[in-house]
Amino acid sequence: MKVLVTGGAGYIGSHTALELLHAGHEVVVIDNLCNSSLESLKRVELLTNKTITFYQVDIRDGDEISNVLAQHPDINATIHFAALKAVGESTQIPLKYYQNNVYGTLTLLEALQKAKITNFVFSSSATVYGEEAPVPYVETLKTGIPSSAYGKSKLMIEQILSDLVKSDPSFKVACLRYFNPIGAHESGMIGEDPNGIPNNLMPFVAQVAVGKRDKLSIFGNDYPTNDGTCERDYLHVVDLAHGHVKALEWLEKQSNGICEAFNLGTGNPLSVLEIVNEFSKVTNVNIPYEYAPQREGDLPAFWANADKAKVELNWTADKSLEDMMKDTWHWQSSNPQGYGK
């Protein structure tokens, strides 16, 4: 297949582009590079000895998307990552999140519909289950009311996709609801490199370990969990990338007019403190930390039931927690300034 990957220069996008190339697919990437680096794709090309076609395009620019699609009439499918993704930030600047994530996706879908590119894998989020959902999250649960504008934007997009499929059964959609991707490619050549102060735990831990930051702030130690810190379902980014390739290949075999959600996770919740301690154990690097107030939008604990993905997509998270720590450190220690963007 020839696959359009939006946000393909980002953390998950670049790892997925690599796995698509390994699986024999062609890749066309569009990315506005607002929180990513073109260097990631150059390194994917080095790792695979294959080429990626790249366009610096914002998904809110329908004309530019249509121009790209016109140049590649043989694109068969889309994997849509392009989005702003910081839960905490989204509560402070919600309009920017709705503008980028929701309006951007609408613009993308309009261009894809015109071009008749109707296989669509959406990078969704476990946050769509809302604050009240019982754990572990399973796809048969009703979606809830997410606590952040980020989560609400993902839920809105899922609802838009469901309505689109009902109105245009030529579309086939897989919404991948995932949890907390961490780690990096085992080569150490690509990994997570956020702009500014990281919003996610692992890049912050890694930047403290490499001396880029003084100490880690752990937001809240009074949650109703075993050690008082938040518990999450952490999975290796390479496992997650495999999940997108599996979903794409699954869609190819389905009848038209389908919109299915799949959880991608390990089913094993780990606390922030457990992650920090495991990183220190695997790398022999001490991580100084302090406790800070809870962040708005953070839930105490959630994790996945990923049985549906195992049965239907033939996907499981295979990499260990040690792999996640080791690969994170290999990436960060080899690239103390990230991609140097």
Per residue, what are the HEC states of the chain? CEEEEECCCCHHHHHHHHHHHHCCCEEEEEECCCCCCHHHHHHHHHHHCCCCEEEECCCCCHHHHHHHHHHCCCCCEEEECCCCCCHHHHHHCHHHHHHHHHHHHHHHHHHHHHHCCCEEEEEEEHHHHCCCCCCCECCCCCCCCCCCHHHHHHHHHHHHHHHHHHHCCCCEEEEEEECEEECCCCCCCCCCCCCCCCCCHHHHHHHHHCCCCCCEEEECCCCCCCCCCCEECEEEHHHHHHHHHHHHHHHHCCCCCEEEEEEECCCCCEEHHHHHHHHHHHHCCCCCEEEECCCCCCCCECCECCHHHHHHHCCCCCCCHHHHHHHHHHHHHHCCCCCCC
Residue 41 to residue 117: CA distance in whole angstroms: 24
150 catalytic residue (yes or no): yes
Q: What is the pLDDT of residue 195?
A: 85
Q: Which pLDDT band, with edges at 50, 70 and 90, does 147 fall under?
A: confident
Q: What is the mean pLDDT of residues 85-107?
A: 95
pLDDT at 146 over 60: yes
Q: What is the mean pLDDT of residues 168-179?
A: 97
Residue 182 to residue 201: CA distance in whole angstroms: 9
Residue 138 to residue 132: CA distance in whole angstroms: 13
Task: Give the C-alpha distances (Å, rounded to integers) separating 81 from 7, 78, 176.
Answer: 5, 10, 11
> Pick the catalytic residue: 137, 150, 223, 234?
150
Q: What is the pLDDT of residue 88?
A: 82
Q: What is the pLDDT of residue 72?
A: 98
Class of domain 2-181+235-265: alpha beta
pLDDT digits (tens, 9 = 90+) for 41-95: 999 999 999 999 999 999 999 999 999 999 999 999 999 999 999 888 898 999 9
CB 240 within 8 A of CB 14: no
Q: What is the pLDDT of residue 115?
A: 98
Arithmetic mean of pLDDT over the chain: 96
Q: What is the pLDDT of residue 299?
A: 85
Q: What is the pLDDT of residue 18?
A: 98
pLDDT at 341 over 70: no
Percent of the chain topping pLDDT 90? 94
pLDDT at 151 over 70: yes
Q: What is the mean pLDDT of residues 300-328?
A: 97
pLDDT digits (tens, 9 = 90+) for 250-277: 999 999 999 999 999 999 999 999 999 9
The closest of 72, 77, 21 to 44, measured between CA atoms, is: 21
Q: Which pLDDT band, with edges at 50, 70 and 90, does 166 fall under?
A: very high
pLDDT at 296 over 80: no
- What residues does each domain of the chain span? 2-181+235-265
Single-letter residue type at 22: H
